Amino acid sequence: MSRAPIAVDHRMPAGVWVLGFVSLLMDVSSEMIHSLLPLFMVATLGASALVVGLIEGLAEATALIVKVFSGALSDYLGKRKGLAVFGYALGALTKPVFALASGAGIVLAARLLDRIGKGVRGAPRDALIADIAPPAIRGAAFGLRQSLDTVGAFAGPLLASGLMLLWADDFRAVFWVAVIPGLLAVALLWAGIREPERPPSEKRGNPISRANLRRLGGDYWWVVGVGGLFTLARFSEAFLVLRAQQTGIALALVPLVMVAMNLVYALAAYPFGKLSDRVSHSRLLAGGLVVLIAADLVLAASPHWGALLGGVALWGIHLGMTQGLLATMVADTAPADLRGTAFGFFNLVSGVAMLVASLVAGLLWDTLGAAFTFYAGAAFCLLTLAVLAWHPVGNAAVRAGRPDTSQES
């Protein structure tokens, strides 16, 4: 007996737009600080590149590791929004600490608290997008949120650069202004999102029990491994800021390197997100790795301003090609009731890899120089490409015109 064709809704849900604008506002707040923080630590607090790498690595690793517990908790409770609101609020309330910092220890404490907030909100937010978006446009939904997030990521450094020029390189005054968009993000999330109701018959158990971890399956764990290896190739973007400082431009203009990168990232994320719904994930990820190799080689070749702009533009393209794609791959390979946990474990592995990558980058920077740091990143990219060639990551069965079967065990 023939089956009736399945109707596919290609309209983007309003909740995805709201989550995108929440990310935009929080990124304006965060990037106003993060685009200046390496300079603040080196020029004002007297920190070394190794200390910058240690702080950035610990901070980002903390965020990614915390996602394991927040993701599992959101699956257990059956609720995503409350944890997301708490995480965004914690991030917003840590911003004044940067303005008051008198040493690297206080900066580290503030970064850790800020990133704990990011860790708490990240997995529930991503799981919420996967819950809200129809399977046929899930890649586009993650791409849209990432694009709006990245609009904030280039608007923040642009605003920071303008305020630094206006206020004669007053880092602390800029940090105080960053509090405002952070609080607006929390208010929008609280008022603008209605969480989808879960079926009342759905059982709630321990999401990290051995039986549930087995349900995640081999495809999911392979995505986790590839994502971790990929993160080793992509150390903290704080080193892009330090490379910009080596060009000799005024301090107030250094954040423009992040503006350029995030502008390209914002323009690339949504088109590549839509593309991921139709093409091989492995090929698209491999393409992103090739672009990252090119970025590393350009950045290593010369500290000239033109080479720097070319390198950070390529870095932005690789982010647009890969970041929404990795989120889509996790969502597609995990059961719907374990998506929070799935994003959490993915980010645990990526967090450990980010800590290692940033520590190695800081050590190489201090001992062998900037160029060798970027060459090492290119070498890790080649290793990841070799792994992908040996075992490609296949697209999940969830695609346009087909039902979402990810809730089946």
For residue 206, pLDDT over 60 is answered with no
CA distances (Å), 194 to each of 11, 117, 131, 133, in order? 17, 21, 12, 13
Give the whole-angstrom CA distance, residue 80 versus residue 48: 39
Question: With bands split at pLDDT 50, 70 and 90, how would you rate the model's confidence at 8?
Answer: very low
For the chain, domains (ranges, CATH) are 14-194+214-390 (1.20.1250.20)
Name the strand (E) or helix (H) holding 22. Answer: helix 14-34
For residue 78, pLDDT over 50 is answered with yes
Predicted confidence (pLDDT) per residue in 156-172, tens digit:
888 988 898 888 888 88
Summarize the confidence of residues 6-16 as an average pLDDT: 66
Summarize the confidence of residues 206-214 as an average pLDDT: 66
The predicted pLDDT at position 409 comes to 29
For residue 181, pLDDT over 90 is answered with yes
Predicted confidence (pLDDT) per residue in 301-354, tens digit:
887 888 888 999 999 999 888 877 887 888 888 887 777 778 878 878 887 887
Dihedral angle sign, alpha carbons of residues 336, 338, 344, 349: negative
Alpha helices by DSSP H, listed for 233-338, are 238-245, 256-276, 281-301, 305-333
200: burial class by Cβ within 10 Å (0-12, 13-18, 19+)?
Answer: exposed
The predicted pLDDT at position 396 comes to 45
Summarize the confidence of residues 8-32 as an average pLDDT: 84
CA distances (Å), 101 to each of 72, 108, 111, 169, 370, in order? 34, 10, 11, 16, 27
Give the whole-angstrom CA distance, residue 301 versus residue 234: 18
Give the whole-angstrom CA distance, residue 74 versus residue 66: 12
The predicted pLDDT at position 317 comes to 93
For residue 4, pLDDT over 70 is answered with no
130 neighbors 338 (Cβ within 8 angstroms): no
Question: With bands split at pLDDT 50, 70 and 90, how would you rate the model's confidence at 200?
Answer: low
Question: With bands split at pLDDT 50, 70 and 90, how would you rate the model's confidence at 57?
Answer: confident
% of residues, the chain, pLDDT over 70: 87
The predicted pLDDT at position 186 comes to 93
- How high does pLDDT run on average in the chain? 80
For residue 236, pLDDT over 60 is answered with yes
Predicted confidence (pLDDT) per residue in 115-167, tens digit:
888 878 877 887 788 888 887 777 778 878 877 887 887 788 889 888 988 88
* Entry pTM: 0.65
The predicted pLDDT at position 295 comes to 93
Say which amino acid occupies 383: L
Say which amino acid occupies 122: G
Summarize the confidence of residues 5-13 as an average pLDDT: 58
